[in-house]
Amino acid sequence: MEMGFSELQREIVGGVERYLADVATSQRARSSFEVDPHGFDHSLWEGLASLGVTGLAIGDAHGGLGLSELELGLVAECAGKFLLRAPLSSTLYASAAAIERLGSEAQCARWLPRIAAGETTAVYVDCALQGFAAPQSFGDAITATFPVVPDAMAADILIAVSGAEAWLVDLAGEGVERTGVETIDPIQPSARVALTRAPADPLPAGDTIEAAAWIRRRVAVLRAFELVGMCQRCIEDASAYARERRAFGRAIGSFQAVKHLLADMYVKMELARSNAYYAGWALATGHPSVVASAASAHLSAIDAGRFCTANALQVHGGIGFTWELDCHLRYRRAHHIALQSGPPRLWEDELIFALAAEREAA
C-alpha cells in the first residue's frame, strides 16, 4: 500500500483549497443563509464544477474525470475546513454513485453528465438507514413521505432506495410537495418531501440491497474525510485563539489545561485521519477490508468531530457560544452528520461482524 499522494492528487486538493480559501468564507455562508435559508450557494457550486469537483468520481464516459473515492475523499477533507452551503454529500457522495451503480444506460446518460457539469443536484434517501416507511409503488409512480431530507428543498432529483427497489423522482414533477424544516444545522438546510403518486423511474440495474450497503459505506468514508478537515480547522482556530487570548497576564495557551485539551483534540483528529485514509484506499481499490475500515473510519471520525468541535467552543470560552463565531456552526454540522449516518450501534455491529469474519477467514 502506497501512503504518499500523487502529484495529481496534490494538484487537485491544492486547487480546491485555494478556491475555497478565497470564496468560502463564513460571512458568505451566513449571507447565503439569510438570502435563501432552504437553498445552497449556486455560484460556489458552479465554481466547484469549473474545477471538476462535481465530476471528479463520475466515469469519463459520462462527462466526469473517472477518478476514485480517494481523490473525492481528499477534496471532502479540504471542504470540511470551510462552511460550505453546497450539496456535496447528497449529490456527489451518494446520488451520483447510486445512479452510476443502479441506473440503466439511458438514466446514466441523461443524469450523470448533468451532475458532472454542476447543472443538476440530487438527494438520496435510504429508507432502512434513516428509519423511513417504505414507499408505496404504483407501477410508474410512488407515494411516500420522507420527514427530513438534507438539501432537498433546492434539489432537482431524488433517489429513494427501499429493500430490493430503487426509484428516481424528478422533484419538479407532479405529486411532489416540499416543505422546509429546521434542523440543528442551518448551513445544510433540510426539507420534508411528500410524494403522492409522483412519477418515478425504477433504477433497474444490479443488486439494490448490495448497492445500498456499498453506498452507505461510501458515504460514511467520505463524511469521515469531511469531519477530519473540520477537526483540523477547529484545532487551528482554537490554537490561534489560545495564543492571542490573555488571562492573568499570560496567553491561555500556556496553561496546562488548555495545552492538554488541544493535544487531545489533535490525537483524536490524527486517529480519525489515519482511519479515513485507509478506508478511502480500501474503497477505491475494492480491498476486502472495506467493510471493517469504513465502519472504523465512520466511528472514529464521528467521535473526533464531536470532541473537537465541542472543545473548540471550550477553548474560546464565552465568546465561542456567540452567533458571530463559527464554533457553534461546526459543532452543529458535526452532530448533524452523525444523525444522518444512522445509529452508532449499526456501525459498531458492522465493525464487529467484519472483524470476526476476517479472523475466521484467516
Q: What is the DSSP pairing of strand 122-126 with strand 157-162?
A: parallel
Contact between 81 and 229 (Cβ < 8 Å): yes
Cut 0.85: pTM above it: yes
Contact between 160 and 167 (Cβ < 8 Å): yes
pLDDT at 37: 87
Q: What is the DSSP pairing of strand 246-247 with strand 250-251?
A: antiparallel
Terminal Cα distance for the chain, rounded:
20
- State the virtual CA torsion across 32, 87, 301, 7 in degrees, nearest 10: -100
**pLDDT < 70 regions, the chain:** 1-3
Query: Per-residue DSSP letters for 176-199?
Result: EEEEEE--S-SSS-EEEEEEEEEE
259: left (phi over 0), alpha (psi -120 to 50) or beta: alpha
How far apart CA 252 and CA 246 sit, in angstroms, is 6
pLDDT at 283: 96
pLDDT at 3: 65
In order of 72, 90, 136, 328, 346, the CA distances from 273 in angstroms are: 15, 22, 41, 22, 21
What's the burial of 139, exposed, middle or buried (CB within 10 Å: 0-12/13-18/19+)?
A: exposed
pLDDT at 63: 94
- For the record, the C-alpha cell of 30 comes out as 451566513
pLDDT at 4: 78
pLDDT at 2: 56
What is the number of alpha carbons within 13 Å of residue 243 lying toward its C-beta? Answer: 5
